[in-house]
Amino acid sequence: MTNIIKLDGTEKIFASDVIEALAGSLRGSVFSQGAVEFDASRTLWNAMVDRQPGLVIRAMGTSDIRAAVNFARKNNLLLAIRSGGHQIAGHAVAEGALLLDLSHMQSVHVDPFAKTARVEPGALLSDVDKETQSHALALPTGINSTTGIAGLTLGGGFGWITRKFGMTIDSLLSVDIVTADGSFLTASADKNADLFWAVRGGGGNFGVVTSFEFRLHEVGPSVLAGLIVHPLEDAPSLLRAYNKIAGSAPDELTVWVVMRKAPPLPFLPEDWHGKLVLVFAACYIGDEADGGESLKQLRGLGNPIADVICEAPFVGWQTAFDPLLAPGMRNYWKSHDFNELSSDAVSVLLKAIATLPDPNSEVFIAHVGGAMARVAEDATAYPQRSAHFIMNVHTRWADESGDATCIGWARKLFDDTAQYSTGSVYVNFMPDDEVGRVSGAYGSNMERLGHVKAKYDPKNLFRLNHNIKPTSVSRAAE
């Protein structure tokens, strides 16, 4: 017998012959509690999420996805969707739910002549980078190569080459998607355009994407990239200068800020290991000589402990932060958007950094804008298109004993810096306790998203996410 939670919170019991029939209809497999594959499917990047689904369907193709969606809808079951399993909120697994595991659908097919890629939802950023860079092509994605392409794309997606080529969703040409009624649709600029608009930033609210089609861009195979490490005590003057440099930087240059205790990196003097530092992480795509000129101001600031910016393979730079973001640790994030790094905001931020709750914790500030900012805020579901900074307060620790301290510290810093923020937020950085911030994430696009949700998922089958509730036009007018 198999028990699975329904949408109304009650349990439905399935006899073994029903589950066997379901399994027999699939190319993939069905796993129950106790199977090794069951535990592999429910294990996520964030070790704080430790939930037991009622049943796992591991899909190997579109037919399996349709079978899972139809089974969930017909039986009114709570349905969780796992792709890369990297999302901080942990929505990919829910206690007692039916879990649809897409992690083995990892194909990446690159057409180097058309400069496009067709990517399945279980692929990681590392899979995409390796295939595209073999042709000196790239897709704008995130900065941690173990992130899944599906969740990153559906939430927006930004990283080292976003200022030059836009967000991940700005390179999205189409998706194939299974909607709540089991239909298989293609969504693009000229097919189901309302759905295509919504999936570009609206998360997994509208269906299960079976494949993504992306436009690729000429990048690499080498870029000018690396780190400049400074003592944190120099941060006030460094960040004032950085605010100006970032504001006038060419699209080819992206500079992020990381503040944390220095890890034992081989290029850092040993006596700096474990001390508070400010790190400029820079990437320039384009001519090396032009990059050297663009980075001159940044490299001339202060008296750095180390400057290791050099020509490096882009695919390697994409993995540079992986060791600090490995799976198996407990993680909690809080995030704000800022139009600028004001001196008051910096003062509050630095006061908090001096009391970091764990050596693995950090605060990073992402530098966005450029091509991303030249897209209208209503062109995609993701609305925050102005040139701005995205702060992520990333607390990270080893075991439950650190929960209260680390989460409390992150929340306090979030509260203390709220007055300097825009009020918007990148949905992929929201933890699972921020239900009330969904409207802030989508701003003026929220009402339209509710209408699209009502059209394609009127009963809110796809609710295990930062949920957008269905809103009919008639209801909205009431």
Q: Could you read off the pLDDT of 343-377 as tens digits, one per residue?
A: 999 999 999 999 999 999 999 999 999 999 999 99
Contact 189, 170 (CB under 8 A): no
- 112 and 154, same domain (yes or no): yes
- 211 and 238, same domain (yes or no): no
476, part of any domain: no
SS3 207: coil
- 210 and 271, same domain (yes or no): no
Segment 180-190, tens digit of pLDDT: 999 999 999 99
Segment 204-221, tens digit of pLDDT: 999 999 999 999 999 999
Stated length of the chain? 478
- For 66, the token pair is 């349709």
- 258 and 298, same domain (yes or no): yes
445, part of any domain: no
- 52 and 127, same domain (yes or no): no
Q: Give mean pLDDT, residues 327-334.
A: 97
- Which of 50, 72, 101 lies at the terminal end of a domain, its last residue? 101
- 333 and 204, same domain (yes or no): no
Q: Give mean pLDDT, residues 282-307.
A: 94
472, part of any domain: no
Integer Cα distance of 268 and 227 in angstroms: 11
Integer Cα distance of 137 and 148 in angstroms: 19
The CATH number that applies at residue 154 is 3.30.465.10
- For 143, the token pair is 């900065």
Segment 98-112, tens digit of pLDDT: 999 999 999 999 999
Place of tokens 């050099």: 310
CB neighbour class for 133 (10 Å; exposed up to 12, middle 13-18, buried from 19): buried
The CATH number that applies at residue 30 is 3.30.43.10
- 226 and 203, same domain (yes or no): no
Confidence of residue 476 (pLDDT cuts 50, 70, 90): very low
- Which of 152, 184, 218 lies at the terminal end of a domain, its last residue? 218
Phi-psi group of 226: left, alpha or beta (phi > 0 → left; psi -120 to 50 → alpha; rest → beta): left
> How many domains does the chain divide into?
3
Q: Which residues pair with 175 in a beta bridge?
A: 187, 212
Contact 177, 185 (CB under 8 A): yes
What's the whole-number average pLDDT of the chain? Answer: 96
Rg (CA), the chain: 22
- For 287, the token pair is 């001519």
Confidence of residue 40 (pLDDT cuts 50, 70, 90): very high
Residue 306 has, within 13 A of its CA and on its CB side, a CA count of 21
- For 49, the token pair is 């999420």
- 212 and 226, same domain (yes or no): no
Cα dihedral sign, 230-236-239-244: negative
- Report pLDDT for 473: 60
458, part of any domain: no
- For 335, the token pair is 């995030």
470, part of any domain: no
Q: Which of 141, 110, 94, 143 is nearest to 257 (CA)?
A: 143
- 148 and 128, same domain (yes or no): yes
- 96 and 226, same domain (yes or no): no
pTM of the predicted model, to two decimals? 0.96
Contact 213, 135 (CB under 8 A): no
Confidence of residue 168 (pLDDT cuts 50, 70, 90): very high
468, part of any domain: no
- For 90, the token pair is 């942990």
- 73 and 92, same domain (yes or no): yes
Segment 376-422, tens digit of pLDDT: 999 999 999 998 899 999 999 999 999 999 999 999 999 999 999 99
Q: How many helices (H) and strands (E) does the chain have?
A: 16, 21
Q: Give mean pLDDT, residues 224-235.
A: 98
- Which of 400, 417, 435 lies at the terminal end of a domain, its last residue? 435
Give the domain extent around 24: 2-101
- 76 and 113, same domain (yes or no): no
Write the CA distances from 113 to 123, 151, 216, 402, integer angstroms. 22, 27, 10, 51
- For 355, the token pair is 């009391």
Integer Cα distance of 284 and 272 in angstroms: 27
Segment 423-448, tens digit of pLDDT: 999 999 999 999 999 999 999 999 99
Residue 241 contacts by C-beta under 8 Å, 6 or more apart in sequence?
Answer: 297, 301
